[in-house]
C-alpha cells in the first residue's frame, strides 16, 4: 500500500534543513543538506506509519492539502510517499 503525506521543509540559519510532517504527531527529521533531510524524512515517516499500523489502532490521520498548510518565509512543501507491505507472502 502506498502512503503519501506533505512535509514542510525549512532551511535553518546554520544552512541545514529540517522537515516536519504536520499530519503525523511528533514526526520530523533534519539533515546537513536538502537531500539528506528528505532521505531522513522518508525514514521518519515510514517508521511512524509502521508503528501506527502494527502497534496501535491503525487509524491514520487525514492528509492535509498543501495549500492549507501555514508556512513561514523560506518554507516549502514536498509530498513524501512510502510503499509498505502489509501482508507477508503476497508477492512470493
| pLDDT at residue 88 is higher than 70 | no
Please tell me what DSSP assigns to residue 76. E
SS3 29: strand
pTM, full prediction? 0.87
Query: Which of these, 71, 64, 19, lies nearest to 41 by C-alpha position?
Result: 19
| Whether residue 92 has pLDDT greater than 60 | no
> In the structure grid, which three cell numbers stand for residue 44, read together?
521518519
20 and 85 Cβ atoms separated by less than 8 Å: no
Nearest to 41 by CA among 1, 70, 9, 11: 9
pLDDT digits over 7-31, tens only?
999 999 999 999 999 999 999 999 9
Name the fold adopted by 2-83: Double Stranded RNA Binding Domain (3.30.160)
Sketch the domain layout of the chain as residue ranges.
2-83
Look at residue 19 in the predicted model and tell me its pLDDT: 98
pLDDT digits (tens, 9 = 90+) for 29-70: 999 999 999 999 999 999 999 999 888 878 899 999 988 999
Amino acid at each position: 500500500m502506498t502512503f503519501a503525506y506533505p512535509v514542510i521543509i525549512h532551511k535553518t540559519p546554520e544552512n541545514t534543513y529540517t522537515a516536519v510532517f504536520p499530519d503525523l504527531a511528533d514526526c520530523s527529521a533534519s539533515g546537513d543538506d536538502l537531500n539528506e533531510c528528505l532521505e531522513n524524512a522518508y525514514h521518519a515517516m515510514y517508521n511512524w506509519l509502521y508503528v501506527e499500523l502494527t502497534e496501535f489502532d491503525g487509524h491514520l490521520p487525514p492528509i492535509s492539502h498543501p495549500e492549507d498548510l501555514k508556512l513561514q518565509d523560506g518554507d516549502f512543501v514536498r509530498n513524501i510517499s512510502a510503499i509498505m507491505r502489509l501482508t507477508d507472502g503476497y508477492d512470493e
